[in-house]
Every structure is written in C-alpha cells, then in structure tokens.
Amino acid sequence: MFHAVRIDRKAVWSLFGLYTAFLLYMMLLGFDRTTFEAGASDYRWNLVPFDTIHRYVFHASAFTTGQWAVNVLGNVGVFIPYGLLLPALLRRCRKFPGMMATFLAGLFVAELLQLVLRVGSFDVDDFILNALGASFGYVIFRRFKP
C-alpha cells in the first residue's frame, strides 16, 4: 500500500529544531498569559492531575471557544509532531517507552523554564495532554513507518 521512503535525516533534524524553537517561543514569549487567566495578578500553577482538564471538560461554558481550543486541543495537537519526529531521528525512541521518556524529559525542561521565568503556566495537566499528543504521533509513525 505504501512505498518505503528514504528519510533525509538532516532535513528531519532541521524540521525538529525549527519546530522546537517555534514551540519554545510560543511557550515562553508568544502568549500573553492574561489572555488565558484574565484578572490573574500572580503566577499560577497546577500540580493536581486532571484538575485543569476537569474544569475544561465539565465547565466548558465558563471558557471562550478559543481558550478551550488552545488549552485542550492545542496542548494535544501541537505535540503530535514529536511522536513522529523522535522515532524517525533517535533509535532509542523507536519503542514507545524510549520515545515517551525522551519526550517527557524535554517537556519537563520546557515546563520548568515556564515556572522559573514565570511565563505561561506550569500545569501537570499540560504534561498529560502533551504526552497524549506525542502518543498519537507515535501511533501514526508506527502505522506508516517506512
């Protein structure tokens, strides 16, 4: 059904680097946090798993469509490429546990930067949604790998 395609590793590394730079920019500089936390004067974080997800799912009417889409769908969707790119680039990421460990280590650094720099928000639910996105990407990679 699909023909094997030779992957140009330099091109994939370039894509990975550009995409990572773009996401770091968006996470650290690109969003005005008051857009998502109107009226918040202090930095906010969440260490309770599923707390934020619960609010967005069961109290969706309290948020604008844009807030809901960015915080739920966006946190899943923008990390799908990592599930595709990491196994294409790194041998240890060809198995799901290796891909997830590598992805979560990088994600932890990005979230920690948000916490230290007091931009965006540090939220354990972001880890859950982001990991779900990377997992979707990994499933796609495994299904269509060359």
- Structural domain harbouring 138: 58-146
Question: Domain tally for the chain?
Answer: 1
Is residue 121 included in any domain, yes or no? Answer: yes
* pTM across the whole model: 0.84
Angle at 118 between CA 116 and CA 124, to 5 degrees: 75
Is residue 136 included in any domain, yes or no? Answer: yes
**Distance in angstroms (rounded) separating the CA atoms of residues 107 and 129:** 11
- One digit per residue, the tens of pLDDT, for the chain of length 146 reads 445 556 688 999 999 999 999 999 988 887 655 444 444 556 778 899 999 999 999 998 999 999 888 889 999 999 999 999 999 999 999 999 999 999 999 999 998 888 888 887 888 999 999 999 999 999 999 998 76
Is residue 62 included in any domain, yes or no? Answer: yes
